[in-house]
Structure 1
Amino acid sequence: MTDNNTTIDWEKKWQESHTPWDAGESSPALVQFLKEHSDLLPIKGKGLVPGCGSGYDVVLFATPDRHMTGLDMSPTCIQQVKEKRGTGNGQYDFICDDFYKFQFPQGGYDMVYDYTFLCAMPLEMRPQWGKRMAEIIKPGGVLIALMYPLNDRSSQPPHTVSVPLFHELLDENFENIFLEDAIGHEDRIGDEKMSVWRRK
């Protein structure tokens, strides 16, 4: 990628197994958040993890009462994750589609989790990200966002994000109900915050 407007070929990266963002597990920050703040999540309903990659977070969030869907636009990614994860006895599934165009459930999602998804967007698409989140999350539902990276990066993804950016993109339709420093993967400590946004 040479500039902010160039689209990365994610399918090629998965075909070539060039996935340096894959840490082999869910972020420790998310695991800790679920232990300490599960009361901020819907107990039941439908959830989505866009840019789900290897599906760690989809499996982590899924319960018998909370069905999770992992979404990715790479056919190779989705094929691999389906072979590896299965369906968890119907507690989750994986679909290959475009986040901005896919048919979401009638009534919307009860929760969406974003981690390393917004930061992978071309910068000019960020306003669309905010509008789409408002479209697919039902009133009273939540967006859980593990903000990364908060420190300056190069022109290539992951693009830098910030707390003010999230407010800019979400405040019209969401209320920020949780925000704190996150202790995630060792190479990202000091570069992340966990946040929860409730749909108005």
Structure 2
Amino acid sequence: MRLNKAYWQQRYEARKTGWDMGMVSPPLAAYIDQLTEKNLRILLPGAGMGYEAVYLAEAGFKALTVLDIAPYPLESLKERLPASFAAENLVEADFFDFKEGPFDLVLEHTFFCALPPELRPEYVLTMNALLRPGGKLAGLLFDFPLTPQGPPFGGSKEEYEQLFTPYFHIRVLERATNSIPPRQGSELFFIFEKK
């Protein structure tokens, strides 16, 4: 089962976006703040309202691609990004059909856990294909029991290690210490490096 374009567009239009914090996630902001190479080719898949994209653009990162299946968040993002941001780098597409690359870095925030769990192995293969050798997939994954009542669907450190280890070196996979209060204790910060 795929939650398709119509599903996500309807969620945005109806404002049924409980995952939306209205700001860049503090763990991701802290990670972005320590990046010094402003020419990294960065992908933000399933970017939603794109707070991380705005944060990156305002920090001077030049090679951003923002991907979402629904047009609603991308239209909103156009109004919030700096005027210098190239509109063609806002891409409306299904992640699994997206073939651009290779990227140096992919930032993950709520996208993985919004996918039905049966798509997770395909997600790993797609990420592997999108990253250059040694490229990094970094961000946040939810850490609460897997549930059919998603999205989000949850997951565990053990599941993530099993899924990603064949294709990625697990550089960091630990409890996020600077999550917003409603997410304290339920987010894992990670950095996986493509083998």
| Structure 1 residue 180: Cα displacement | 2.7
Residues 166, 87 of structure 1: CA spacing in aligned structure 2 closer, same or farther, 3 A cutoff? farther
| Structure 1 residue 94: Cα displacement | 1.4
Counterpart code for 1:52: A
- The answer to whether the 8 Å contact 1:67/1:91 transfers is no
Quote the RMSD (CA, aligned, Å): 2.3
| Structure 1 residue 113: Cα displacement | 0.8
Corresponding residue SS for 1:100: helix
CA distance in 1, matches of 2:61, 2:28: 20
Q: Structure 1 length normalisation: TM-score?
A: 0.85
35, 38, 43: which one pairs with 1:38? 35
| Structure 1 residue 161: Cα displacement | 1.4
Residues 197, 91 of structure 1: CA spacing in aligned structure 2 closer, same or farther, 3 A cutoff? farther
| Structure 1 residue 33: Cα displacement | 3.0
Q: Is 1:193 paired with 2:188?
A: yes
Residues 139, 99 of structure 1: CA spacing in aligned structure 2 closer, same or farther, 3 A cutoff? same
Instruction: Quote the residue 2:19 is aligned against.
Output: 21
Q: Structure 2 length normalisation: TM-score?
A: 0.87
How much identity, in percent, do the aligned residues show?
28
Residues 6, 32 of structure 1: CA spacing in aligned structure 2 closer, same or farther, 3 A cutoff? closer
Counterpart code for 1:115: H
CA distance in 2, matches of 1:95, 1:115: 17
Residues 174, 43 of structure 1: CA spacing in aligned structure 2 closer, same or farther, 3 A cutoff? farther
Corresponding residue SS for 2:113: helix
| Structure 1 residue 172: Cα displacement | 1.4
Alignment of structure 1 residues 137-152 onto 2, 5 Å = 137-148=131-142, 150-152=143-145
**What are the ranges of 5 or more consecutive residues in structure 1 without an aligned counterpart?**
none
Q: Is 1:103 paired with 2:96?
A: no
Number of aligned residue pairs: give it. Answer: 190
Counterpart code for 1:28: P
- The answer to whether the 8 Å contact 1:55/1:85 transfers is no
CA distance in 2, matches of 1:31, 1:162: 23
Instruction: Quote the residue 1:82 is aligned against.
Output: 78
CA distance in 2, matches of 1:17, 1:168: 35
Cα offsets for 1:32-76 (capped at 9, x unmatched): 3334x537xx55331111111111111223454541111100012
Corresponding residue SS for 1:190: coil
Q: Is 1:47 paired with 2:47?
A: no
